[in-house]
Amino acid sequence: MNEDKTQESNNRFDEAFDRIKKATDMRTQVEIAKLLDIRQSSISDAKRRQSIPDSWLIKLYQIYNLNPNWIIDGEMPQFLGEQRGGALQVRESGETYGRKPKYYQMPVNSMSLPEQGQGPWTENSVETLAVPEQFYRPSLVFVRMDENDMEPVIQRGAYVGIDKERRTIRSGALYALDMPVEGLVIKRVFHDTENSRLILRSENQAYTEQALAAEGFGERVLGRVVCVFQEI
């Protein structure tokens, strides 16, 4: 009798883990561990205990909006509300509706300069983010917003997608800029043609705007902000 219960428990864990792999489009424990930000040995521990940890369920809900009951027991619906990637709710387009969504695991970079605080900003991955295919493009780089100067449009802690191929300044749009000492900053940029300069403006009115000469400004531009993943 106990042997039957053990086998049933084993089957439930394996089935739940298979559902996680299918929903995330991942095939190996290594990939799952990276997604959940855990050691691969943690998966072996969970299998030995025959229990999906609550922290996994929370992470999978935050990234994919997966229903914990669906993961554990296969109880529908699969998603709570609309499907989503990262922390941004995403509605499927007509052409992708009805098929399993695809996600790209992308590095998320710090906006800060290296410890010495000198030189240009460089990509420095600190975590990963599952990005829905409708947002993905090869020229995209993600950073995690580390200040509140762009609130409420971009909240502190938000994941910000920057297209490095879109560096031409369009007045009023949001851009990521490499600034001396500060590192990477995100500002709304406006043309001031009368004075041959550009105005950098924060959304948070507690921050004062900055003005920089238009000449040579393009060297500071990493790219244009094209998407933001954040809690709503």
Instruction: Please tell me whether residues 45 and 114 are part of one structural domain.
Output: no
Share of the chain above pLDDT 90, in %: 40
The pLDDT of residue 94 is 43
The verdict on residue 52 lying in a domain is: yes
Instruction: Please tell me whether residues 12 and 65 are part of one structural domain.
Output: yes
Helix/strand/coil for 159: strand
Contact present, 90 and 134 (Cβ < 8 Å)? yes
Whichever domain contains 23, its CATH number is 1.10.260.40
| CA pair distance 153, 150, nearest whole angstrom | 6
Instruction: Please tell me whether residues 144 and 217 are part of one structural domain.
Output: yes
The mean per-residue pLDDT over the stretch 78-94 comes to 49
The verdict on residue 97 lying in a domain is: no
Q: Residue 8: pLDDT band by 50, 70, 90 thresholds? A: low
pLDDT tens-digit map of 126-162: 998 888 888 888 999 999 999 999 999 999 999 999 9
The verdict on residue 98 lying in a domain is: no
Look at the chain and report how many structural domains it folds into.
Answer: 2
The pLDDT of residue 115 is 67
Instruction: Please tell me whether residues 191 and 115 are part of one structural domain.
Output: yes
The mean per-residue pLDDT over the stretch 174-203 comes to 92
Instruction: Please tell me whether residues 69 and 109 are part of one structural domain.
Output: no
Per the structure, the complete domain to which residue 175 belongs is given by 105-229
Instruction: Please tell me whether residues 68 and 172 are part of one structural domain.
Output: no
Mean pLDDT of the chain: 83
The pLDDT of residue 101 is 55
pLDDT tens-digit map of 170-185: 889 999 999 888 889 9
Q: Residue 163: pLDDT above 80?
A: yes
Looking at 46, 81, 116, which one is the last position of a domain?
81
pLDDT tens-digit map of 88-134: 333 344 444 444 557 788 999 999 987 666 678 889 899 988 888 88
Q: Residue 3: pLDDT above 70?
A: no
Instruction: Please tell me whether residues 76 and 131 are part of one structural domain.
Output: no
State the residue for tokens 């829905």.
Answer: 132
CA 206 to chain centre: 27
Instruction: Please tell me whether residues 129 and 222 are part of one structural domain.
Output: yes
Instruction: Please tell me whether residues 112 and 18 are part of one structural domain.
Output: no
Looking at 34, 65, 81, which one is the last position of a domain?
81
Strand 174-179 and strand 159-163: pairing?
unpaired
Q: For the whole model, what pTM was predicted?
A: 0.58
Q: Name the phi and psi angles at 144, rounded to 5.
A: -105, 125
Instruction: Please tell me whether residues 50 and 164 are part of one structural domain.
Output: no
